[in-house]
Structure 1
Amino acid sequence: MSTARGLLVAGTTSDAGKSVVTSALCRALARRGIRVAPFKAQNMSNNSMVVADPDGRAAEIGRAQWVQALAARAEPETAMNPVLLKPGGDRTSHVVLRGRPSGRLRAGEFAGGRATLTEAAHAALAELRSRYDVVVCEGAGGVAEINLRAHDYVNMGLARAADLPVVVVGDIDRGGVFAALYGSLALLDPADQALVAGFVINKFRGDAALLDPGLKTLEDLTGRPVLGVLPWQRDLWLDSEDSLALTAREADAAAAPALRVAVVMLPRISNFTDVDALCLEPDLRVDFVTDPRPLASADVVVLPGTRATLADLEWLRSRGLDTAITGHARRGGTVLGLCGGCQMLGRTIRDPDGVEGSAGRTAAGLGLLDLETVFTRDKVLRLPSGKWRGVPVGGYEIHHGRVRTGRGEAFPGGLRDGSVYGTMWHGSLEHDAFRGAWLAAAAEHAGRDGGRFGRVSFAAAREARLDLLADLVEEHLDMDAVLRLIAEGPPVLPTVRGELR
């Protein structure tokens, strides 16, 4: 392909499968020798990753785009996710613009305060298109968010600006997929509809022949093909973009685990992909909990990261989880705090400048580690590495809180005191040897055999899933049609009018 082309993967709703289809197409195109890059103009997620920008400075992008870059066999960079919104509450988001903090966006500004963000997104896409053969773009939310269309630069606004063909994905497992696909198209204005080139149905279970009458009717009514039906796959899992799918992993836990792990599902949980590597360990049962009772039977308690440490610490106390966690530690049970969770395990947390809310606020931590946290306006973005007990380990840091450690054993990115561990490094458990060594220590605390952990390669498991995704689209999507859309742009198709017009 001599000129840079692209495609927008949109959805009928959030979590319809846009990220999965985008990742799958990136890997399928990369396997064909095409230089491909992922792109999401704006991601709203507290799950992010640190990357190294060309200037050598650490920067931040959404975790989903980082994984999609791996799928594309491309180097992750901020142009792939120029705008990252990190929800700080129901009405405020922290803005990360080209990898750097850039203030806050309040709910009232969503309609008219996005000119700068739009310009950054369009410039980033143009930059990628100048350097890659193909850019596979992912939309956000639902494609027919008509209340936001006037200032949209993520879905049809982006497609219009870049003349991108659009494929709309619907999740049949939710029910109502035909109405969702037809209705999404019908609600768009004619100029937007002209760019919608086809549909993809995701997560189908059963006999595909049962779908044929519905597929034909949808194609007859819209004049657009269903490019494929992707089957529901039990073992299909990717580093998730948000926390919608967290509880679904409980059912996959081992029947007779060597260790039981309870992950506290904080209301403002962030970077929860830290525990993905634990979910891959065959001898662990990993449950996500919101009340104290499951902690009584757990061997390991994990406090993950959070976008609002002080608020989630209050939540812990309101539910009695603080007492359950400290009691678990005093009985010799293992506790691991990750980033915000690490800060909660300390003695005090201070917020003199109001980074997380009211200026001058101070709260007592759980007192399980001798460390103090002070929030500052400048964000720490780092890609650190080191060793623990002779085992190499690395990770990434994304936080405002500066942690000062006191008495205890040094632990990568933090501190250890007996069976309590705290680290500010995200991603450390993805390092297989380190994960195995830490789980062996946790098993020792529980009086169990710890020699069977860390044998699963997290990186290999991720690669296998990306290849599985590519296999799925190669088998179940009309890839020739997809390649034509990318090369030729959107075809001329009829306008569909809904009953409400």
Structure 2
Amino acid sequence: MTGGALLVCGTASDAGKSLVTAGICRSLARRGVRVAPFKAQNMANNSAVTASGAEIGRAQAMQAAACGIEPEAAMNPVLIKPAGETSSQVLLMGKPYADATARSYQELKASLEAPVLAALDGLRARFDAVICEGAGSPAEINLRARDLANMGLARAADIPVLLVGDIDRGGVFASLVGTLAVLDAEDQRHVAGFLINKFRGDASVLAPGLEMLSGLTGRPTLGVLPWREGLWLDAEDSLALEAPALAPAPPIGADTLDVVVVRLRWMSNFTDVDALAAEPGVGVRYSRSPVDVERADLVVVPGTKATVADLERLRRDGLDVALARRAAAGAPILGICGGYQLLGHRIEDDVESRSGVVNGLGLLPVDTVFDPTKLLRRQAGVAAPTWLGGAAVSGYEIRHGQPRPHAGGAAPGESLLTTAAGAPEGWAHGAVLGTSWHGLLEGDAVRRALLAWVAGERGRSWLPGDTPFAAVRERRLDVLGDLVDEHVDRDALDALLAGGVVDGLPSLDLQRTACSAS
């Protein structure tokens, strides 16, 4: 199986490509296959930092965990981070490469193809199998000419494609057949089979449809994955947040805690709060309601790729007033990265928004100056005892903004963390906390200390759980592997990895609406 590769594409965004890819990775890794994930081009503001200081999509970091390996830049060579309605930051091999609009990015793709293919070739040389994830849908034919992530990658690397459809949305057969049909004959040659995701109901009712799908396309369905609650993990984009929130696990103490995450327009790394939701009796939901913000036990202002733009929207929607009322009432607020920056007094941004000097919300005594050089690194240290119990902590930084004490004089409060090098990080003033570190709440001791402090401030009788968050992640990844093992034809998957593109598959002709041999 040396060097084998498979591309998992979807009929639409959020069809389940990321989780299917992770499940296949987990299934293979548990069988002793040396496997790695790959996504040529990812558009997401949820990202992670590798040990070498490279920034990649969080989905690929999660998929690397499914493989039991460290994430690296080659697993996501191109990362696009939207920073506004028309502009994005483009990273190449984990480092900022260019700022681009939707149109200028199409012109930029020519310079990205070679490093993308080199990254994939490098992984295939080092691993038995590479499970690639597509982007969006291959049916976006207006983007096909310079495609790097879907059929363009399949043809350039000569690898087979597994097409995933979400049956829970309805119209899955039309989506699968239609996606295949709009591809040209050479692209269709790479599509080896289908996988149906999120099925609820009686499989016998679905069976005739699978037979008809095979008859229409000449391709098999390799599996039907059943609907399972709570499978999303380290989602790429906010589409995953449209699903109803899961009910929290029953509390251990007498009370529950209500956590509201302010839903910013350009929200990034919202997976920072996943660990809170893993604690019993803690409900986490996203909202832009001032009422929710005022009433919650804890409000989290998450990271953002457009701090100034999201600050303006907060003010427009009245959330600045709700946050100010919370702070005045001593109700807990936690700002993370961009959320920390907008809670401060002053922002000087000539990098992202190029807005110059902008007044922040004034709830923390810090000023932020944006530096053209992006800071990408992992960190470790110790938390302040008052709010976070003095626990050992770790996290990672992804930012242009550099918070510092407010220029207006001595800053009340104290630093929230101390780095391993002895430097102060973050700030705490009253019940308002801020930090630049993502991933901080994945630490069991610091997360539980934070929630215990919140419970004390809110008069709640809440008690923490005892399951490590790392174990929760592993269990979720095992569930994905179990789904593949139990509901996907593993022999067929192995055959695709070993044999590559299948010869002799028919192609659909849109003009004749019939199946003809290629």
TM-score (norm 2): 0.93
Q: Verify: 1:167 aligned to 2:162, yes or no.
A: yes
Q: Verify: 1:476 aligned to 2:501, yes or no.
A: no
Match of 1:10 in 2: 9
Asked if the contact 2:260–2:300 (Cα under 8 Å) also holds between the matched residues in 1, the reply is yes
Higher mean C-alpha deviation, range 398-407 or range 109-118: 109-118
Shift of 1:249: 4.7
Match of 2:316 in 1: 318
Match of 2:338 in 1: 340
Deviations 1:360-392 (A, max 9, x none): x21211111111101111111121111123311
Runs of 4+ in structure 1 off by over 3 angstroms are 253-257
Asked if the contact 1:247–1:288 (Cα under 8 Å) also holds between the matched residues in 2, the reply is no
Identity rate, percent: 56
Alignment partners' CA distance in 2, 1:284 and 1:456: 14
Asked if the contact 1:332–1:446 (Cα under 8 Å) also holds between the matched residues in 2, the reply is no
Shift of 1:204: 0.4
Alignment partners' CA distance in 2, 1:169 and 1:203: 10
Letter in 1 for 2:413: G
Higher mean C-alpha deviation, range 301-310 or range 380-389: 380-389
Shift of 1:471: 0.6
Match of 1:400 in 2: 400
Letter in 2 for 1:48: S
Q: Verify: 1:455 aligned to 2:454, yes or no.
A: no
Letter in 2 for 1:318: R
Letter in 2 for 1:484: A
Q: Verify: 1:222 aligned to 2:222, yes or no.
A: no
User: Aligned pairs, how many?
Assistant: 492
Letter in 1 for 2:44: S
Deviations 1:322-365 (A, max 9, x none): 110110121111000000110111111111xx212235x21211
Alignment partners' CA distance in 1, 2:84 and 2:308: 13
Alignment partners' CA distance in 1, 2:32 and 2:250: 42
Q: Verify: 1:74 aligned to 2:69, yes or no.
A: yes
Deviations 1:51-72 (A, max 9, x none): 123xxxx110000000000001
Asked if the contact 1:230–1:472 (Cα under 8 Å) also holds between the matched residues in 2, the reply is yes
Letter in 1 for 2:451: L
Match of 1:24 in 2: 23
Shift of 1:500: 8.0
Shift of 1:248: 2.5
Match of 1:38 in 2: 37
Q: Verify: 1:266 aligned to 2:271, yes or no.
A: no
**Which residue, out of 350, 353, 358, partners 2:354?**
358
Letter in 2 for 1:494: P
**Which residue, out of 432, 436, 443, partners 2:444?**
432
Asked if the contact 1:9–1:166 (Cα under 8 Å) also holds between the matched residues in 2, the reply is yes
Alignment partners' CA distance in 2, 1:90 and 1:296: 29
Deviations 1:107-156 (A, max 9, x none): 22233321111111101000101110100000000022111111011101
Q: Verify: 1:411 aligned to 2:423, yes or no.
A: no
Asked if the contact 1:9–1:138 (Cα under 8 Å) also holds between the matched residues in 2, the reply is yes
Deviations 1:174-227 (A, max 9, x none): 111000000111111111111110000000001111111111100001000000
Match of 2:277 in 1: 279
Match of 2:233 in 1: 238
Shift of 1:485: 0.6
| Residues 87-126 of structure 1: pairs in structure 2 closer than 5 A | 87-126=82-121
SS of the counterpart of 2:54? Answer: strand
Shift of 1:92: 1.6
Alignment partners' CA distance in 2, 1:112 and 1:322: 40
SS of the counterpart of 1:332? Answer: coil
SS of the counterpart of 1:460? Answer: helix
Shift of 1:260: 1.2
Match of 1:304 in 2: 302
**Which residue, out of 280, 294, 310, partners 2:292?**
294
User: Structure 1 residues 454 and 378 mapped into 2: Cα distance closer, same or farther (>3 Å)?
Assistant: farther
Match of 1:185 in 2: 180
In the alignment, structure 1 segments of 5+ residues that lack a partner are none
Higher mean C-alpha deviation, range 220-229 or range 407-416: 407-416
Asked if the contact 1:436–1:455 (Cα under 8 Å) also holds between the matched residues in 2, the reply is no
Asked if the contact 2:80–2:91 (Cα under 8 Å) also holds between the matched residues in 1, the reply is yes
Alignment partners' CA distance in 2, 1:347 and 1:113: 38
Q: RMSD over aligned Cα, in angstroms?
A: 1.4
Shift of 1:255: 7.6
Deviations 1:279-328 (A, max 9, x none): 11221122211120112321111100001111101111111101101101
TM-score (norm 1): 0.96
Alignment partners' CA distance in 2, 1:500 and 1:145: 22
SS of the counterpart of 1:89? Answer: coil
Letter in 2 for 1:410: S
